[in-house]
Amino acid sequence: MSKKSILRAIRQNQPQGPPLPDLPSFASDAPEAPLAAFQAMVTAMGGQVANAADYPDLGALVSAYFPGETSVASTVPGFPGNIPLQNMASPAALETVGLAVIPAPWGVAENGAVWVTEKECLFRVLPFIAQHLMVVLAKDRILSNMHEAYQRVQVDETGFGVFIAGPSKTADIEQALVIGAQAARSFTVVLE
């Protein structure tokens, strides 16, 4: 018998596996609305929340929260920033980005995280290499918990996806909290 015929016979004669269990819905029983819980968690994680309606446009909001920032990379439609990301030949060229402004398709109230993919960033490294990260999120795209989030996100849709919650931080060096140790030093969510 050849290797091909043996493998074909194995594929054709595999036993039926047991049925998969039904997963519970894990519906949120939190008394707060997802928006209020999300805002509280972003703040608790060391981030800040801005309301887009309080400003005439995203440029005014960026100027209010990051006055004097001269190196802004943006993937938000209608707000180009001043670093032309389309012309970047290498992600290493992003090392001078002071502020990255990116959209997020989903937010999670349970932990104040946002889901970001390569589609929103253009470069995987953008949210991590920038000194400051600003994420634009629609209020109606906030989910109650991670169970709901994993039902909505399509992890195989792009080559990269990540949940980001708060600015980068660590406390493993002499047990002292350090903000911005591995990635962005600040995290701002702009709610539309």
Any idea which architecture 33-191 has in CATH? 3-Layer(aba) Sandwich (3.40)
DSSP line for 15-67: PPPPPPPPPP------SS-HHHHHHHHHHHTT-EEEEGGGSSSHHHHHHHHST
Percent of the chain with pLDDT over 90: 39
> What are the structural domain ranges in the chain?
33-191
Tens digit of pLDDT for each residue in 143-186? 989 988 888 888 888 888 999 998 877 777 677 776 766 778 88
